[in-house]
Structure 1
């Protein structure tokens, strides 16, 4: 199970190295026809998220810093599980390594 931390403001969280702070999209709690879905049906995290903040990058084997491949505001595809959970009030955010992000979603 991933560690969880609680903060008063998401602005106080600054990712280090190649870490990426994201907020997953929330699953719909009702269908298009207006039927409310039970919590158990919406418990699986959605694979899409919005990038909130990124670290400066991590050094490669030569010591050169390789920047992260995403930037704040990007929509990304995440693995089904993983990351470190961060709670800010009722909002939940996750920290992933840049290499764990599966894809950037182009609009």
Structure 2
């Protein structure tokens, strides 16, 4: 996955590549598309510089957890990505 991103987030926003949803359960049952949940984990692709007195604490390459409905889905190039505020990120893992 080459990182040739043409967008730069502003202020305290980050761009996240969501992880792939599970195709099978641990017992081997295939999950249909209608039953799949939105991922809550992803990798930071780019991060803005932060606010005036609050620099961004995450960096590109960090794996993070975020709320199920956090962020805005955007399509950049051929990829579906999320843009959200750093405050919507729950944890770095």
Tell whether the structures are fold-level matches, with TM greater than 0.5. yes
Structure 1 residue 86 displacement after superposition: 1.1
Is 2:23 aligned against 1:15?
no
- Residue 91 of structure 1 aligns with which residue? 79
Is 2:41 aligned against 1:48?
yes
Asked if structure 2 preserves the Cα contact closer than 8 Å seen for 1:57 and 1:67, the reply is: yes
Asked if structure 2 preserves the Cα contact closer than 8 Å seen for 1:10 and 1:88, the reply is: no
Show structure 1 runs of 5+ residues with no match: 1-8
Runs of 4+ in 1 over 2 A off after TM superposition: 30-36, 88-91
Structure with higher Rg: it is 1
Show structure 2 runs of 5+ residues with no match: none
Is 2:88 aligned against 1:100?
yes
Separation (CA, whole Å) in 1 of partners of 2:76 and 2:27: 32
TM-score normalised by L of structure 1: 0.74
Separation (CA, whole Å) in 2 of partners of 1:15 and 1:56: 8
